[in-house]
Amino acid sequence: MVGLLEGVRSGYFAGLLPFYAPEHLGLGPAAFTLAFTLHQLAENLSKAAGGLLAERLGYGLTVTLAAATGLLALLLTPRADSAWILWTLGALWGLTFSSLYPGLMTLASRIARPGMDARALAFFQDLEEVLEALRPTVVYLEARPEVLLRRYNLTRRVHPLGAGNLMREIAEERRALAGLRGRAHLVVDTSELSPRGLKEALARFLGEEGGFLLRLVSFGFKWGPPQEADLVLDVRPLPNPHYDPALRPRTGLDPEVRRYVFSEAAEPYYRALLAVAGLAAEGARAEGRAFYTVAVGCTGGRHRSVAVAERLAEELSGRFAVEVVHRDVEREG
């Protein structure tokens, strides 16, 4: 059903309106393009209200009313003799979508999963037995009913209890989880909490406030940069030991190679790299990131990148927990 609705919508705005509006309504491309824009805006801005309406009126009645209103908007299109009427009809049709989706998905869940209530409640009962046997540390996250209702409506997800009345399902869930909440070592109300605030609350409880890790990965550009890198530093401008026959078989872990790479002329360039890596890591930690990956690359990944990654680790270890990985140090060629 949802696929059919999307097909009708796409056919109307992309297939029918661009040809029908200019020829029969005398409206140009700007008019029917704005109609589609207002349609999308109306749907997106009314999702919470549409879900709440479906909850209050019942999903069956809401689907019927929304479908009838949307059909009326489509049938009135041939009588739209001005751009304003076309825009109003487009917005009206968009409003019906915000109620149609929650209603259709909930009704479908009743048909596809008629025994969901019993299975979900049985799971809660089994959970009590497992907790009694394992006695783990329990963190219980909750939110006010109206906040949960808004979140479900915005995501268009069906409640696991799947009974068709979201507020009743939320209340039943609270009753079923009352025992688990009573066992919790920490109860967090997420109603007004941002994701970062939740992370900080959990970090304080678990004693992991200082859990930031700076990862330094040396690599060779000829093998491709690491996909997980947040920042890539290019150290190819530094002196290359590859062209010294005595140093070529060695790696950036060798003191002789490091002395060659960090010549006096190369020091300003290295200092700039150090400053950039330090500032980037500080910013990531301030944002609440758990780790930040700096990739250090030279041509083959055996000499300069290894030496620079090792020196960066030494000089940044006083500010961060540092992990060093030399991805291509053993590669030849």
CA dist 87 and 39 (Å) reads: 8
Q: Write the pLDDT tens digit of every residue in 233-258.
A: 999 999 999 999 999 999 999 999 99
| Distance, first Cα to last Cα, the chain | 58
Q: Write the pLDDT tens digit of every residue in 65-102.
A: 777 777 777 777 777 777 777 778 777 777 776 656 55
Helix axes 267-286, 304-316, angle to 10 degrees: 50
**Are 302 and 241 in contact, with CB atoms under 8 Å apart?**
no
The pLDDT > 90 percentage for the chain reads 32
Q: How are beta strands 291-298 and 213-220 bridged, if at all?
A: parallel
Q: Write the pLDDT tens digit of every residue in 146-205.
A: 888 888 777 767 777 665 677 888 888 888 888 888 888 888 888 888 887 787 778 777
> What DSSP character marks residue 241?
G
Q: How many CA atoms lie within 13 A of 58 on its CB side?
A: 3
- What's the token pair of residue 220? 């060779």
Q: Output Rg (C-alpha) for the chain, integer angstroms.
A: 30
Domain boundaries, the chain: 2-112, 132-206, 213-326
CA dist 90 and 214 (Å) reads: 51
Query: What was the pLDDT predicted at 164?
Result: 62
Residue 303 to residues 6, 235, 323: CA-CA distances in angstroms? 56, 10, 18
> Within 10 Å of residue 318's Cβ, how many Cβ atoms?
7
CA dist 164 and 161 (Å) reads: 9
**Are 235 and 273 in contact, with CB atoms under 8 Å apart?**
yes
CA dist 256 and 241 (Å) reads: 10
Of 189, 186, 179, nearest in space to 147 by CA: 189
Query: What was the pLDDT predicted at 214?
Result: 94
